[in-house]
Amino acid sequence: MTIGRRATAEFIGTFWLVFGGCGSAVISAAFPNVGIGLLGVSLAFGLTLLTMAYAIGHISGCHINPAVTLGLVVGGRFPAKEIVHYVVAQVLGAIAAAAVLYVIASGKAGFSLAGGFAANGYAEHSPGGYSMLSALVAEVVLTFMFLMVILGSTDARAPKGFAPIPIGLSLTLIHLIGIPVTNLSVNPARSTGPAIFVGGWALSQLWLFWVAPLVGAAVAGVVYPALAGKQEA
């Protein structure tokens, strides 16, 4: 499969993740009387990843997240020379999704980006008022655990064909934990899309949602192979 096709798949997959996950938060979370709430948004993120894993996993591996790509590079599962192609495609897919979401959401009277537009934040911009340190620790730890699930379920020794299920469920779980803290990122591309439209505080805090997920993923890329040993040829 050419790098162009794989990068395009990553663009589409990341678009779906951000549009589906952030879209559920912006449009559906507090919809009058039948809002889906925190549980619904968490499920939406998990379902977008689960569906894309089956749709494009055989094309690109369905990273749809720069932190996942880095973790796989560190863990020896993905060539470092292709990381830029994947990350660029992922970020562009996230921005495109945020743009489409903005067009849709802004069609409702009273819409305002002041509501956050599902951007990630800490301190006064944390949904629960959590500090920068809390946000940093949460994003590192949750990304680490997310990558451990990914690396374990896609190990050649793991049961075949089931990996998208635990991966999607793990993304749901970490959203249930992390939404009150930061709106949950664990994905620098997902954070970048909405932040570009919100601007201001969202862009000034975006650094944390690149640094923390990349650190957590890189650590998992070291820990998992050390724990599990080499895959069988």
User: Is the separation of the CB atoms in 171 and 146 below 8 Å?
Assistant: yes
Handedness of CA 130, 210, 219, 61 (dihedral sign): positive
CB environment 146-156: b (16+ within 10 A), e (fewer): bbbbbbbbbbe
Gap between the Cα atoms of 189 and 105, Å rounded: 20
Gap between the Cα atoms of 146 and 217, Å rounded: 8
- Residue 164 host element (H or E): helix 164-182
Domains belonging to the chain, first-starting first, are 3-228 (1.20.1080.10)
Q: DSSP for 59-74, please give it.
A: HH----SHHHHHHHHH
pLDDT in tens, the chain (233 residues): 899 999 999 999 999 999 999 999 999 876 556 568 889 999 999 999 999 999 999 999 999 999 999 999 999 999 999 999 999 999 999 999 999 999 999 998 888 898 889 999 999 999 999 999 999 999 999 999 999 999 999 999 998 889 999 999 999 999 999 999 999 999 999 999 999 999 999 999 999 999 999 999 999 999 999 999 876 54
Place of tokens 């591309």: 189
